[in-house]
Amino acid sequence: MTDALAIARDLIRCPSVTPADAGALGVLAALLKDAGFEVQRVTFSEAGTADIDNLYARIGREAPHITFAGHTDVVPPGDESAWSLGAFSGEVKDGYLYGRGAVDMKGGIACSVAAVLDYLREHGGKPREDGNGSISFLITGDEEDVSVNGTVKLLKWAAERGEIFDHCVLGEPSNQEVMGDCIKIGRRGSQSGTLVVEGKQGHVAYPHRAANPVPDISRLIVALSDEPLDQGSAQFQPSNLEFTSVDVGNSASNVIPGTARAKFNIRYNDCHTQESLRALVEERLRTACGNRIRAHIEWLPSNANVFLTKPGSFTELAVAAIEEATGRKPELSTSGGTSDARFISSYCPVIEFGLVGQTMHQIDERAAVADMETLTKIYRGILDQYFA
């Protein structure tokens, strides 16, 4: 099979820390053009953010259309002197490929490209002998940061040009412990906000002339945190509201502050929409405030909506390919944080399956070469069954 390791090493040696591309998309563009893909590089901009380069490549023009998605941008390496091997060396030691992005997710992209190129070589350079079928790659350079000039705009750009996706495999590091233990079929939504309690500033010696918001915000934090938002659903664990900071902006010990603020984040399941979730929390706040406490919530904008790819023929196909390569039947999971799958899910069913994610974002991020070989076989197995 095509050497996924060689592709991954070339990608890692491009120090593509968000928002820099550093040549990573060029590596992919050259490989895919040589294989007959129509490759397009698209740059998106928005005021206050960096310009981001993205790549879309497709071979074939008919349905069914499967796309492999991913991102070539990586988080900063941290203290590079702390790495056993260079953060962007792409070196192999004791069976592991080292470098920022080895797991998240240049290694996964390399495996998908290797599998696709291998598949096309064995099938005359086209997805199906009857001329039907399409394979594409949706690759962004804006996933690890604000995610405004990447996948969300690339999907819109593709749709405006008549591109229709039937299914997507996103190569995020989904496995928890070993290859084949987990497929992500959904993610909880994420909504952040700030609880603001209004008091009245005054001298601590004259509390009757002030209104202290500190005890009130403490009561409200407990009230909003203690009552569950739901009991979970068939595919999702219960939603969770977590307060992350409390601030009164007061450095003096003899002054009662005028305002108290507490930041929070909610990870919510498919029992809620963003709108119904906000309404629920607002109603609970009104009840807890009664007629005395003056408080409100400042909601932050969010594009991290809950999504679910319902188990069916596509997930069954992926499970079969994973079982064949690993001997394990993966869990269909919705745990973890957000990913670009939240955008893709509005266009087609999407699953997340990649490498083992234990070292992502860490010093000495590394991927087992054997796992990369296995992942390439799994992607190849998915293609074999998808176009059978």
- pLDDT-derived band at 2 (thresholds 50, 70, 90) equals low
Q: Are residues 235 and 265 in the same domain?
A: yes
Domain count, the chain: 2
Q: Are residues 17 and 116 in the same domain?
A: yes
291: tokens are: 């007629």
Q: Are residues 269 and 333 in the same domain?
A: no
Decide if pLDDT at 281 tops 60. Answer: yes
Which of the following is catalytic: 10, 73, 142, 144? 73
Q: Are residues 18 and 79 in the same domain?
A: yes
Q: Are residues 366 and 270 in the same domain?
A: no
pLDDT for the residue 374 = 98
**pLDDT tens-digit map of 336-382:** 888 999 999 999 999 999 999 999 999 999 999 999 999 999 999 99
Q: Are residues 287 and 321 in the same domain?
A: no
Residue 295: closest CA among 257, 260, 244? 260
**pLDDT tens-digit map of 104-122:** 999 999 999 999 999 999 9
pLDDT for the residue 1 = 52
Stretch 251-278: mean pLDDT: 96
Q: Which of 299, 325, 358 is where one domain is finished?
A: 299
The residue range of the domain holding 17 is 4-187+306-386
Residues 262/252, Cβ–Cβ less than 8 Å: no
Decide if pLDDT at 134 tops 60. Answer: yes
Q: Are residues 178 and 315 in the same domain?
A: yes
CATH code where residue 153 lies: 3.40.630.10
DSSP state of 2: -
Which of the following is catalytic: 143, 216, 352, 371? 143
In the residue annotation, 143 being an active-site residue is answered as yes
In the residue annotation, 216 being an active-site residue is answered as no
Bridge-based pairing of strands 65-71 and 167-170 is parallel
> Could you give the residue ranges of the DSSP H alpha helices within 75-188?
106-122, 151-160
pLDDT averaged over the chain? 96
Q: Give me the residues paired with residue 187 across strands.
A: 307
CATH code where residue 278 lies: 3.30.70.360
Q: Are residues 136 and 178 in the same domain?
A: yes
Q: Which of 267, 299, 331 is where one domain is finished?
A: 299
Q: Are residues 35 and 56 in the same domain?
A: yes
**Number of other CB atoms surrounding residue 211 within 10 Å:** 18
